[in-house]
């Protein structure tokens, strides 16, 4: 056994050959590994005490710049210990994490599943779920009936506490999805859950975080969690599997058939929740393996079945989901955008917390940046990344193919910011924060996947981009973007100029409608099967269409 010393409070003993990442988790420390230990994301970087480097073994890894390796930095997922080691952890980014909690709403006709009836003769209150008697409580508790609406995102969690008697939202709380520490995107999370104990680890981490959030929110509003009788889980298909403790492994293999397709109610206690003894959890219907309950919530929030004309709904995240509505006829698809839009797989990427560059603009011959928390620039979050690439494309710093221009082709104030990172061209965004050539390629791959999906949906309904009347950009990440830069990088067609609006967190707002109105559950359960799903991987010309979607579109906006 060898001793790993992280700090005075976190010292653990581990068997010889253990990784530093395993030791950190044993010590209860949060150290992200978005690529699930594949050694490619570079986010689990730590520094080893110089004299202790002889006690570890690690492969030479291109994910770390040579300058980092020279200073003793290693990837914790690949570094194995063969002696006592002192490890210096990176500065944590969690403080001030920006999470969007609200989205597009409509007037909800209240008809909740949970009802309470007081029987004066028995001096007892009956609690019903629909027509089923769930439990009976002593005394008159009819005034205390609460529910939770939960947006379970791949990266973030948003929990709302709702008074079921009045329909009023009492409060909302948000946090990072703790599963992201183990695996960042849907694909890597499926892989992690398929490993021994992986499913239990992810399920337990999520359940405990939901319990913590629910307890804090209830206490803030003087509500007992024992009076919370129902929760609605709105999330993608993989997240619902993990929340229910069901293996998502089939979602990673053709024909991608989910074990759980939503449209059901489960016992909250079976899911590890500490609510009312008889509490239930409702899972909205999933449309397919990769178009989940969060999109069902979005369809509901945006009233897509009721819209006339052509409307496009795009939820941008690690998995980009798209729905096109043509006079109430819906087609849907999804594309694996990957974690670049979340700041992962980006050399100096980070979450939207203190120190993250969230806005970048080139204005009147100068560069303007906005940093979250007015802190020193520490990295690029997703919105800052899209802004930077979009603005640099418009300014000619990045050409349509994604290459950086030569310094002599640019104005001095831009040319002086061109530099190198790991021997490749890069651009200095702010302070020591750089945008590398590899980062630009990651953006091209991510936006190309989403754009390809949009093009196939347009083709499916036999229409051109010019004929689309309204474009809704949904999701917490999408809300912080600027339409002009989505068009500049080519994620959206040029024809969408002036038609794009931001719907916010429709997974959260639609989930609240499911909580308060049984009629919305019944309608979506009935109509989810009407949505035509396009599986992009099965398209004959997918590869060609994807390649065509990689280039940027630098027309001025």
Task: Give the chain's count of helices (H) and strands (E).
Answer: 14, 28
Using CA atoms, how far residue 480 sits from 180, 203, 382, 516, in Å, is: 20, 29, 9, 28
Give the model's pLDDT for residue 352.
Answer: 79
Strands (E) in 245-296, as ranges, are: 264-267, 280-283
Give the model's pLDDT for residue 96.
Answer: 47
Pick from 267, 219, 229: which is nearest to 144 by CA?
229
Return the number of other C-beta atoms located less than 10 Å from residue 253's C-beta: 10
Distance in angstroms between the alpha carbons of the first and the last residue of the chain:
62
Query: Side-chain half-sphere of 96: how many Cα atoms within 13 Å?
Result: 15
Give the model's pLDDT for residue 334.
Answer: 92
Per-residue pLDDT of the chain (557 residues; tens, 9 = 90+): 888 888 777 788 888 888 888 788 777 676 666 565 666 666 778 888 888 888 888 887 656 776 677 777 888 888 898 888 888 876 554 444 445 556 667 788 999 999 999 999 999 999 999 999 999 999 999 999 999 999 998 888 999 999 999 999 999 998 889 998 888 778 889 999 998 899 999 999 999 999 999 999 999 999 999 999 999 999 999 999 999 999 999 999 888 899 999 999 999 999 999 999 999 999 999 999 999 999 999 999 999 999 999 999 999 877 889 999 999 999 999 988 877 787 778 888 887 788 999 999 998 889 999 998 888 999 998 889 999 999 999 999 999 999 999 999 999 999 999 999 988 999 999 999 999 999 999 999 999 999 999 999 999 999 999 999 999 999 766 667 888 999 999 999 999 999 999 888 899 899 999 999 999 999 999 999 999 999 887 788 888 888 989 998 765 55
- Determine the Cα–Cα distance for residues 85 and 58; give it in Å rounded to an integer: 14
DSSP assigned state of 398: B
φ, ψ dihedrals at 325, nearest 5°: -115, 125
Do 4 and 14 contact (CB within 8 A), yes or no? yes
111-143 core/surface letters (b: 16 or more CB in 10 A; e: else):
ebbbbbeeeeeeeebbbebeeeebeebeeebee
Structure-token match 């029987």, residue found = 119
pLDDT tens digits, 288-337: 999 999 999 999 999 999 999 999 999 987 788 999 999 999 999 998 88
DSSP assigned state of 89: P
Strands (E) in 381-485, as ranges, are: 418-421, 424-430, 433-436, 470-474
Give the model's pLDDT for residue 424.
Answer: 92
Do 504 and 511 contact (CB within 8 A), yes or no? no
- Determine the Cα–Cα distance for residues 71 and 510; give it in Å rounded to an integer: 49
pLDDT tens digits, 91-148: 554 444 445 556 667 788 999 999 999 999 999 999 999 999 999 999 999 999 999 9
Give the model's pLDDT for residue 93.
Answer: 45
SS3 category, 302: coil
> How far is residue 523 CA from its own chain's centroid?
27
Return the number of other C-beta atoms located less than 10 Å from residue 103's C-beta: 27
Domains of the chain: 2-88 (3.10.20.30), 114-295 (3.30.420.480)
- Determine the Cα–Cα distance for residues 523 and 503; give it in Å rounded to an integer: 22
Pick from 331, 329, 263, 335: which is nearest to 293 by CA?
263
- Determine the Cα–Cα distance for residues 176 and 127; give it in Å rounded to an integer: 33
């Amino acid at each position: 056994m060898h001793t790993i010393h992280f700090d005075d409070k976190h010292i653990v003993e581990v068997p010889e050959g253990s990784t530093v990442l395993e030791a950190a988790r044993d010590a209860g420390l949060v150290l992200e590994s978005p690529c699930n230990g594949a050694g490619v994301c570079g986010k689990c970087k730590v520094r080893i005490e110089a004299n202790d480097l002889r006690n570890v073994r690690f492969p030479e890894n291109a994910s770390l710049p040579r300058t980092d390796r020279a200073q003793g930095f290693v990837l914790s997922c690949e570094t194995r210990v063969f002696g006592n080691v002192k490890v210096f952890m990176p500065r944590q980014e969690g403080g001030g994490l920006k999470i969007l909690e609200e989205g597009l709403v409509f007037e909800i006709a209240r008809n909740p599943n949970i009802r309470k009836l007081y029987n004066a003769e028995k001096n007892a209150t009956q609690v019903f779920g629909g027509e089923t008697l769930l439990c009976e409580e002593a005394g008159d508790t009819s005034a205390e009936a609460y529910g939770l609406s939960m947006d379970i995102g791949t990266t973030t969690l948003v929990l709302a506490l709702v008074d079921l008697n009045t329909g009023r939202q009492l409060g909302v709380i948000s946090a990072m999805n703790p599963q992201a520490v183990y695996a960042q995107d849907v694909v890597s999370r499926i892989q992690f859950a398929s490993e021994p104990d992986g499913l239990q680890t992810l399920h337990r981490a999520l359940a405990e975080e939901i319990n913590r959030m629910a307890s804090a929110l209830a206490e803030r509003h003087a509500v007992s969690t024992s009076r919370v009788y129902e929760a609605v889980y709105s999330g993608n298909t993989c997240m619902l599997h993990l929340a229910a403790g069901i293996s998502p492994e089939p979602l990673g293999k053709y024909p991608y058939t989910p074990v759980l397709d939503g449209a059901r109610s489960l016992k909250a206690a079976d899911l590890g929740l500490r609510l009312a003894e008889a509490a239930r959890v409702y899972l909205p219907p999933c449309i397919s393996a990769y178009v989940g309950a969060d999109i069902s919530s979005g369809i509901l929030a945006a009233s897509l079945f009721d819209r006339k004309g052509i409307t496009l709904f795009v939820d941008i995240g690690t998995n980009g989901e798209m729905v096109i509505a043509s006079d109430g006829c819906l087609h849907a698809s999804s594309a694996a955008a990957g974690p670049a839009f979340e700041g992962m797989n980006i050399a100096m990427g980070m979450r939207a917390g203190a120190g993250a560059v969230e806005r970048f603009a080139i204005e009147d011959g100068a560069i303007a940046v906005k940093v979250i928390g007015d802190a020193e620039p520490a990295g690029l979050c997703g919105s800052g990344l899209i802004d930077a690439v979009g603005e640099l494309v418009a300014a000619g710093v990045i050409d349509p193919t994604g290459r950086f221009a030569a310094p002599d082709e640019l104005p001095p104030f831009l040319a002086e910011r061109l530099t190198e990172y790991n021997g490749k061209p890069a651009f200095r965004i702010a302070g020591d924060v750089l945008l590398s050539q590899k980062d630009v390629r990651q953006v091209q791959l991510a936006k190309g996947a989403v754009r390809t999906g949009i093009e196939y949906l347009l083709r499916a309904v036999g229409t051109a981009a010019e004929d689309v009347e309204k474009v809704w950009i949904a999701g917490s990440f999408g809300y912080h973007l600027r339409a002009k830069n989505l068009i500049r990088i080519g994620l959206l067609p040029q024809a969408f100029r002036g038609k794009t609006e931001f719907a916010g967190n429709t997974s959260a707002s639609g989930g609240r409608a499911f909580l308060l109105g049984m009629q919305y559950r019944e309608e979506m359960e009935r109509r989810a099967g009407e949505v035509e799903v396009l599986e992009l991987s099965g398209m004959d010309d997918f590869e060609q269409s994807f390649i065509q979607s990689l280039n940027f579109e630098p027309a001025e906006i």
